[in-house]
Amino acid sequence: MKKIITCLAVLATVSMLMVSCHSRMYKFEVEAVGDQGTTAVAWAKDEVLATWDDSLRFVYVPVTGVAPDSTYATTQLTKGAKTYGVRRFVYPGALCVDTACVCLPSVQEGTGFPKTMPLYGETQDGKGDVLMKSMCGVVRLHLTTAEKLVSVKVSTADSAKYMAGVFKVDNYPYPVLQPQSKVFQSIECDKLKGMDFAQGADLYLYVAPACYNTFTVTLTAEDGRVCVKNLKEDKYVVVDRNVVCTINLGQNEGDLVFE
């Protein structure tokens, strides 16, 4: 009888060890993008998520198990499956520069709606379903001009408001970006060669959410001439989190003047 009890104890210990070594599986879904141009997130199989918990142990984990319709993806924590407190995730992982900090690029391609908005999600230990939420808003510039453009820049002169750079991300219960030391008041697209804006074309930039009281669009043509378009002083631009903000320029004759 003693041998049987001893064997059962050993089996129980082994089972506990096996459970503790199992990787924690997480399933990620994404909130819908709001207003004027929704799109499904295109999870990339070769992309990674950045993740950390209350112990601030920062690791990267690969995206796996992408659904055929891209409505969800999964991953496993292969290192240290134990989570202390809240488990946090950022996607794409390359945006994470440190624990709790993300970097929104000040130079973006802008050509085409972002396949994946910068996302943040968190879950308590033991819960494997994570709702990923957008950290940014999208500025859609609809430009109409016969000029061949080489760059487009949006900028603000608002004090203490920053469009891009390094931000600390918190959750209240949606992602809130807090500017850190290296931040920028402008975002630029400089790879526009070959784009035809004669009939109107769109550029999409993901921008830190804010109410921008000053908002300037600067267009540079191939021959070096520049058009600086300051939105009217009585018109502010609100970039809401997870919402597409559309700005139309050049549809009216004389709207864009290059000098």
What confidence category does residue 250 fall into, taking pLDDT thresholds of 50, 70 and 90?
very high
When divided into structural domains, the chain yields a total of 1
Range of the domain at 55: 24-249
The pLDDT, as a whole number, for residue 232 is 65
Cα 50 from chain centroid (whole Å): 12
Integer CA distances (angstroms), 148 to 196, 221, 228, in order? 7, 5, 15
Per the domain annotation, does 31 fall within a domain? yes
Q: Does residue 115 register a pLDDT over 90?
A: no
Per the domain annotation, does 10 fall within a domain? no
Number of Cβ within a 10 Å radius of residue 243: 17
Contacts of 9 (CB under 8 A, 6+ apart): none
CB 38 within 8 A of CB 134: no
The pLDDT, as a whole number, for residue 32 is 76
Task: Mark 75-112 as b/e (b = at least 16 C-beta within 10 Å).
Answer: bebeeeeebeeebbbbbbbebbeeebbbbbbbebebee
Per the domain annotation, does 103 fall within a domain? yes
Per the domain annotation, does 4 fall within a domain? no
Task: Please compute the mean of the pLDDT values over residues 78-92 and round it to a whole number.
Answer: 82
Per the domain annotation, does 115 fall within a domain? yes
Task: Please compute the mean of the pLDDT values over residues 50-76 and round it to a whole number.
Answer: 87
Cα 46 from chain centroid (whole Å): 17
Per the domain annotation, does 149 fall within a domain? yes
d(C-alpha 186, C-alpha 209), whole Å: 13
CB 193 within 8 A of CB 150: yes
The pLDDT tens digits of the residues spanning 206-226 come to 999 999 999 999 999 999 999
What confidence category does residue 38 fall into, taking pLDDT thresholds of 50, 70 and 90?
very low
The pLDDT, as a whole number, for residue 210 is 95
d(C-alpha 50, C-alpha 62), whole Å: 9
d(C-alpha 2, C-alpha 64), whole Å: 46
Encoding tokens for residue 143?
């430009």
Q: Does residue 10 register a pLDDT over 50?
A: no
The pLDDT tens digits of the residues spanning 117-175 come to 789 999 986 678 999 999 999 999 999 999 999 999 999 999 889 999 999 998 888 99
The pLDDT, as a whole number, for residue 57 is 83
Per the domain annotation, does 189 fall within a domain? yes
Task: Please compute the mean of the pLDDT values over residues 242-254 and round it to a whole number.
Answer: 87
Task: Please compute the mean of the pLDDT values over residues 106-118 and round it to a whole number.
Answer: 83
The pLDDT, as a whole number, for residue 98 is 81
47 vs 17 pLDDT, higher one: 47
Say which range, 20-34, 103-117, 133-147, 202-216, has the weakest mean pLDDT: 20-34
CB 135 within 8 A of CB 30: no
Per the domain annotation, does 195 fall within a domain? yes
Q: Does residue 178 register a pLDDT over 60?
A: yes
